[in-house]
Chain A
Amino acid sequence: MNSSIVRTVLIFVIASCLVSHSVTALASQKPYQRTVEKYSLPDVTLINQDGKRVSLKSMLQSDKTIIVDFIFGTCTTICPVLSAGYVNLQNRLGEENSKVNLISISIDPENDTPRVMKDYLKRFQAKPGWDFLTGSRKDIDAVMRAFNAYIPNKMSHYALTLIHPPKADKWIRIYGIMSSSEFVDETKKTGL
């Protein structure tokens, strides 16, 4: 093997170490991080899985507990975990489910048409009270920025759940993935 080949392989090795293999083998085992935050949200109109236009602000100004996450319809890793969390929460809350409104906001609005979103919710056997919203790239970006959750590349997004107790002026920001019982506890703390 000549020296230029060896050199190239070494460059490749270094680059590889710096890029994907610096991501340690598996996800962090730490418990989720919980903070309380105040957000100023934009007055945008988004589109739900039925193709209906909805005002995000009026949706959030509700007597119900609002829970928001960011996902996309063809996501492979994080979104199914977050969505499994939503499904399990709906199943565990039982009748109290009517006091909670779950919202998933698309971070791939070009692809997430109402049909894609509807199919996604069906696949997860979502119950009423879980809406999937899409919209123009501009509006979606504005929402992500407002929640301090701007993700320029959807493939590098992270698990974030935002919980809003009824009529509260602050949000609970959960960074990471909760177990089902932790999610139920966090939700119940909002006054169910």
Chain B
Amino acid sequence: MTGRILLIIMCLATSLIGGIHASAADSLDLHRLGERMYRDGLLPDGTPLRGYVRGDVEIDGTAFSCSNCHTRSGLGSVEGQVTSPQVNGTSLFKPRYLFKDQVKNSISKSRGVTRPAQALRPAYTEETLAAVLRGGIDPTGRELAPVMPRYGLSDKDMGILVRYLQNLSAVFSPGVTDTSLTFATIVTDDVSPEDRQAMLASLETLVTINQQTKTQKKLPQFAKMFRMLDTAYFRDISVRIWELKGEPSTWAAQLDAYYQKEPVFAILGGISNKPWKPIHEFCETNKIPCLFPITDLPEVSGASWYTLYSSKGFYQEGETAGRFLSNSIRDGAGGKVLQIVRHTPQGNALSSGFTASWNESGLGQLHTVTLDQGQNLDSSTLHNLLLQYAPDSVLIWTDDEIISALAKMPPEAILPQMFISSRYVGKSVTSIPGPLRDRLFITYPFRLPEDEKTFKGYKEFLTLGKLKQPDEKRIATRTFSMIHVFLQGLKELRQDFYRDGLLDVLAMLPDQYLPDFERYSFGPGQRNASKGCYIVQLDRGQSPQLIKRSEWVLF
């Protein structure tokens, strides 16, 4: 039925827009051209869309596209003093009401009673929409805000844009029915049963509480965050578990099969010890939001849209080490740097992040040595590398093999300043002999333990997860952070169940203070919420404490 309505709308759109009679292929092209105008501010001929704001301030569409303010989904935004209203198909071509009137009308309709409220404006037609885009006057004669550009578009270009708007967020995304919202989470077969359970149990809480909310929503023991479910409370929330087995190269086909069987609105969390890339790409291809998977090996990409990560994982640790070292070289430290990299996804991610930020600074001299499988980093290999390169600083991106190598270094070895990753090395990092600690800098990707203890929201999260203390890998707390952010998004999304809309509203969230990582911040196109990492040292104690040597975010 919905498909038929869409078809009728599309046919009408095609016949109404002057001069555009399109075949299916042309129709796709026209959609792409419209999308480019809307998102990138480029006209079909490739030149920027031009317009004026505040009377005479000329703007270039590439820096000022429609989606900038009205968002990619067309559901609009509120920023500071400016409200950019909804411009998606279902909004523009229907009368616009205050939200309260809209709800009042739908209640009346469901009871078979008509109580029409006064519309703010009537439905746009192609002609009135073209007029408002050109001259800034809506069909009621009201003038739009001066920050809304007035565009001098030709009839043909206007036709393409109007057609695009007619189809923009016009039909709910898959995974939504009148009574249900279906999500998935992903678990790969390299994940231990304990880790799997830590994530799934937390996710189950979301489903359980949603069910309870329907009947017990007034009980005070419900955590504040779950009250946000009110918006979706009349829909059943379910989370499917998509288990991925075998080689990552086969994951895409497995994901496709799951998706064909039952489409989902979004992927909530997910967990893997392997690089997230195949899942990231699946989500990009199928335009499915994926929120804060538990991975330390995310896909680091400036251009992707659909996956939101809590941080850039190992890459971010390397990046921070690069900035820390570049700053100390700028302040006079020696600039000869050696990077020893274990050829694993973890080592490579640390190295990529380091090299990227190192290259940005353009200081010093960097040598990178990659250790392949079977090539041990024992004390003699390390000693020889240090003698060969005589670096001022050495970054050692390996697991705990570095700890025994350092413990057995010959007494005559001259050790430079060293950097390692606490997450890659693991717990044994604290067994580094005391005298070496002064020369050892450690990337630490979480809030420091003593700060975490005083962090106000932390206990609340532990209680929700029924945890006495955080699980070592922070899986439950990270999953609860995801749920917390997701629920805020769901609340803001209201009844507009469009996937791009979910990502748009998440981009508008204020900064969040959550367990594990420092300050989560958001913004259109920002895809890594927490942007920093600490550099720490160990004190000389038997159970060494971490001493902060950097801010969370370095430049």
Contacts and interface: CB of A to CB of B under 8 A. Distances in A.
Interface of A: 1, 5-6, 8-9, 11-14, 16-17, 20-21, 23-29, 47, 51, 72-78, 80-81, 83-85, 88, 108-111, 113-115, 123-125, 134-137, 152-159, 177-181
Nearest to A13: B100
A159 B80 CA distance: 8
A77 B99 contact: no
A84 B69 CA distance: 14
Given A27-B83, A177-B147, A77 B77 contact: yes
Given A21-B99, A159-B81, A124 B63 contact: yes
Given A8-B233, A156-B510, A180-B58, 12 more contacts: A13-B99, A16-B103, A17-B100, A23-B78, A26-B145, A51-B360, A72-B523, A74-B525, A78-B82, A134-B555, A137-B553, A180-B56
Question: What are the 3 closest A-B residue pairs judged by CB atoms, nearest first?
Answer: A74-B523, A26-B145, A27-B145
Given A17-B100, A80-B64, A156 B57 contact: no
25 contacts: A1-B111, A6-B107, A12-B103, A13-B104, A14-B100, A25-B85, A26-B148, A27-B147, A28-B81, A73-B523, A74-B525, A76-B71, A77-B68, A77-B79, A81-B147, A84-B58, A84-B63, A84-B64, A110-B519, A110-B521, A111-B521, A111-B531, A156-B510, A157-B80, A180-B55
Contacts of B452: none
B438 interface: no
B526 interface: yes
A88 B149 CA distance: 15
Nearest to B58: A88
Interface of B: 53-60, 62-64, 68-69, 71, 77-85, 98-100, 103-104, 107, 110-111, 120, 143-148, 217, 230-231, 233-234, 360-361, 494, 507-511, 519, 521, 523-526, 531-532, 551, 553, 555
A39 to B, nearest CB: 21
Contacts of A84: 53, 57-60, 63-64
A73 to B, nearest CB: 8
Nearest to B69: A77
A81 B100 contact: no
Contacts of B59: 80, 84
Given A8-B233, A155-B510, A75 B56 contact: no
A36 B213 CA distance: 54
A78 B83 CA distance: 10
Contacts of A23: 78, 83
Contact of A77 (B82, B104, B144, B509): B82
Nearest to A184: B56
Contacts of A137: 519, 553
Given A76-B71, A80-B64, A179 B107 contact: no
A27 B144 CA distance: 9
B526 A125 contact: no
A20 B79 CA distance: 10
B251 to A, nearest CB: 30
Given A13-B100, A136-B551, A80 B68 contact: yes
B82 A179 contact: no
A157 B79 CA distance: 7
B53 A81 contact: yes
A76 B524 contact: yes
A111 B71 CA distance: 19
A73 B98 CA distance: 32
B54 A177 contact: yes
Contact of B80 (A14, A20, A156, A179): A156
Nearest to B110: A1
B80 A77 contact: yes
Given A80-B59, A83-B63, A110 B531 contact: yes
Nearest to A135: B555
A115 B360 contact: yes
B78 A74 contact: no
B525 A27 contact: no
A29 B80 contact: no
B511 A153 contact: yes
A153 B71 CA distance: 19
Contacts of B82: 26-27, 77-78
Given A110-B532, A159-B81, A76 B519 contact: no
A101 B532 CA distance: 31
B80 A158 contact: yes
A111 B526 contact: yes
B144 A26 contact: yes
Contact of B553 (A72, A109, A157): A109
Contacts of A152: 510
Given A84-B53, A88-B58, A29 B231 contact: no
A11 B68 CA distance: 31
A21 B120 CA distance: 12
B531 A156 contact: no
Contact of A179 (B54, B98, B510): B54
Given A81-B147, A113-B555, A108 B521 contact: yes
Nearest to A4: B217
A74 B531 CA distance: 15
Nearest to B104: A13
A91 to B, nearest CB: 8
A108 B523 CA distance: 9
